[in-house]
Amino acid sequence: MTIEPIQKFPDNAIEFKDGVPVSLLFDDVYFSKQGGWEESQFVFLEGNEIQRKWEENENSPFRIGELGFGSGLNAFVTLDTWKLSANPTSVEFVSLEGYPLAINILQSLNESYPNKNLWFEKLTLSYESAIQSWKKNPTDNLWTYQWDHPNNQNPFTLHVFFGDIKNCLPNFPEIHAWYLDGFSPGKNPDMWSFESLTLMREKSVPKTSFATFSSAGFVRRNLTELGFVVEKKKGFGRKREMISGFLK
């Protein structure tokens, strides 16, 4: 099922609940109101053992693939961890987004995390200009931004493909760790369908890991059928379960 946003919510309408953006189109939150930053660290970074893999220099560049860029929170949490590394590896964070958020919504993230330099002006303008180019010319659908580290020459590069998951994933490079972060599977079935996860599998190599906040039965079954080892774990905070795993 493809949800068509155009008629119903022309501007990817968002409302705020307790300071967290909520999509009216998908009727779901972009991140948890109980410690979004910590949840991202717990589910995606720890779920994929990102720091250990960076320290052991498993792959360089180390490529993280994300399904759903949203507010950019997961990318910022990953970037922050990289910035704090003494001898960072080169990282490519590759994400996709079909319904980019407006600037004022993105910048509200700065108010949630005032001590972090998240959507600074140059970054926001660069993202906004890429969205405008994509709207004029749908084939011009890749935004890239790079951070350098003071300790070495290895950069952190963020890439976001704009468009539907089915059109974006075929453009991804080979990925070493996945952050599966669509809205909840019941509300956003396109992001978790067998077809989407098959495209994700095609960009994975043996030992490529994944992690997600969801432990929905059909997601576990799809991943297992595609050759991933799927493990259930205790979820973040009050959440009972999450899953992570790797490709055999």
Ligand X SMILES: C[S@@+](CC[C@H](N)C(=O)[O-])C[C@H]1O[C@@H](n2cnc3c(N)ncnc32)[C@H](O)[C@@H]1O
Q: Which is nearer to ligand X, 24 or 226 (CB)?
A: 24
Tell me the DSSP string of 185-240: TTT-GGGTSHHHHHHHHHTEEEEEEEEES---HHHHHHHHHTTEEEEEEE-STT--
Write down the least CB distance from residue 109 to ligand X, Å: 8
Among 47, 182, 185, 245, binds ligand X (CB under 6 A): 182
**Contact characters 211-240, ligand X, x per CB under 6 A:** ------------------------------
Tell me the DSSP string of the chain: ----HHHH-TT--EEEETTEEEETTTTEESS-SS-HHHHHIIIIIITTTHHHHHHTT-SSSEEEEEE--TTSHHHHHHHHHHHT-SSPPPEEEEEEESSPPPHHHHHHHHHHSTTS--S-HHHHHHHHHHHHHHHH-TT--EEEEEE--SSSS--EEEEEEES-HHHHGGG---EEEEEE--S-TTT-GGGTSHHHHHHHHHTEEEEEEEEES---HHHHHHHHHTTEEEEEEE-STT--EEEEEEE-
Our finding on whether 165 is near ligand X (CB under 6 A) is: yes
Write down the least CB distance from residue 159 to ligand X, Å: 14
**Contact characters 88-117, ligand X, x per CB under 6 A:** --------xxxx------------------
Q: Which is nearer to ligand X, 141 or 208 (CB)?
A: 141
Our finding on whether 119 is near ligand X (CB under 6 A) is: no
Our finding on whether 245 is near ligand X (CB under 6 A) is: no
Write down the least CB distance from residue 97 to ligand X, Å: 5
Among 188, 204, 208, 214, binds ligand X (CB under 6 A): 188
Site size for ligand X, by CB under 6 A?
21
Among 48, 74, 89, 108, binds ligand X (CB under 6 A): 74
**Rounded distance, CA 192 to CA 196, Å?**
6
Q: Which is nearer to ligand X, 27 or 56 (CB)?
A: 27
Write down the least CB distance from residue 132 to ligand X, Å: 18
Write down the least CB distance from residue 68 to ligand X, Å: 3
Our finding on whether 68 is near ligand X (CB under 6 A) is: yes
Token pair for 206? 């043996």
Q: Which is nearer to ligand X, 62 or 183 (CB)?
A: 183
Return residues touching ligand X (CB under 6 A). Answer: 30-31, 68-74, 96-99, 164-165, 181-183, 188, 190-191
